[in-house]
Every structure is written in structure tokens, then in C-alpha cells.
Amino acid sequence: MTSVTAPAMSVEINGKISGKKIVLASNNQGKLKEFFHVLSPLGISLHAQSEFAVPEAEEPYFTFVENALTKARHAARMTGLPALADDSGICVNALQGAPGVFSARFAGEPKSDARNNQHLIQQLAGFADKSAYYYCILVYVRSEHDPQPVIADGLWHGEIIDQPKGEHGFGYDPHFWIPSLNKSVAELTPSEKSQLSHRGQALRTLLEKLA
């Protein structure tokens, strides 16, 4: 994977992460771009776990928070650095919350956004209710055994559309419609998405907690 790098600057947030390297426990290129888009201007020295040859952690749990905590502790253990992990997905009401934590592999292995979207549309065929929401939870740990991880989450409501719209974003974004904007998420600019999205909400809450 091509590594995304951020400026090696520091930021003073009440001393919590000032001057520290933080490893991002993800190999998802789309997520990496969104994190760096928000955090780089703040001068936070954020580094993808791929820079340290950290393999992906297992995600054996049925809840977002357990998977995020597992990934954060794994990255911290492998690098010796504070770590930030994200676990997120799309939850469709007609499917009782599926795909949820299985969003990245909804259509099976290997992971494929195109096949996941196709599978979702097939699963929703015949349902009148197309409502759904994106959910993101972030976990920040100072070390592998941090007894007080900092946790923040965000939620973004919308609905699923059959035909993809837009060229931006990743994952389910072309099929995730925001009625109030009359746009899909993939039609939003990166700045618009970071202001509104589940991940943007969670990031702002996390930074407030660190402050």
C-alpha cells in the first residue's frame, strides 16, 4: 500500500499529544486520507501503521468498540507508540443493522467495495425501507496497556440508493444518499465530508476529549 505521510509537526492539546508520534491502526487508504485531511493542518504527527510494517489486527468481535480497541492495542504493541484506531461501517435498518462490523467484507474475501455495494443492493431488493446510517468509533491509547483509552463516536443518517452517484469517497459512499443535501456522500468534497461525516464527528469529539 502506498503510505500517506503527514507533516512531522506537533500540536499542543493540553500536553496530551504534543510532540508525539501517533500510529494510525489502519491500512484503509480512504480512511487514511480522511484522517490526514483533518489532523495534518493541526500539526499532529500521524503515521500509518504500514510505515512500521504492522500487519492488520484480527477483528473477531461483534461490536465496533471491541474491534477498535483491539486494533489500537495491537498497533501500540507493535510500534511502542500511542495509537489511534477506527472501527466503522454502515448499518441498514431493513437488514437489522447489517452489515455493521462486517461492512468491509460484506461480500466475502477478498475485500471489494464494488462487490460489497452490489451485495448490499441485492440484499435490499424488495424492501421499501432504505434508511441506513454510517457509524464510527475511535479509540486512542497511550500504550498497549493503557487502562483509560479515550473513546469517541459519530453517526450519520441517510438512505441507500440503487444507482451509484459521485466520484469521491470510498466504500459505500456512492450509494449512501443524504436527503437534506440531495447528494450522495461520493458527491461531496473532502472538506464537506469531513464536516458532516460520522468519522469527522468522532474526530472532533476525540480532540475535544484530549483537550
Residue 78, H or E segment: helix 64-79
C-alpha closest to that of 103 among 86, 117, 83: 117
Query: pLDDT per residue over 100-123, tens digit each?
Result: 999 999 999 998 999 999 999 999
**Which 8-state DSSP code applies to residue 161?**
-
- Indicate the fold that domain 21-210 takes in CATH: Maf protein (3.90.950)
C-alpha closest to that of 12 among 37, 45, 34: 45
Q: Are 186 and 210 in contact (CB under 8 A)?
A: no
Q: How far apart are CA 184 and CA 174, in angstroms?
A: 6
Please give the pLDDT value at position 79.
Answer: 96
Q: Are 185 and 196 in contact (CB under 8 A)?
A: no
Q: How far apart are CA 11 and CA 20, in angstroms?
A: 9
Please give the pLDDT value at position 198.
Answer: 96
3-state secondary structure (DSSP) of residue 158: strand
**Residue ranges for the chain with pLDDT beneath 70:** 1-19
Q: Are 111 and 104 in contact (CB under 8 A)?
A: yes
Please give the pLDDT value at position 33.
Answer: 82
Please give the pLDDT value at position 16.
Answer: 54
87 is catalytic: yes
Active-site hit among 87, 113, 153, 173: 87
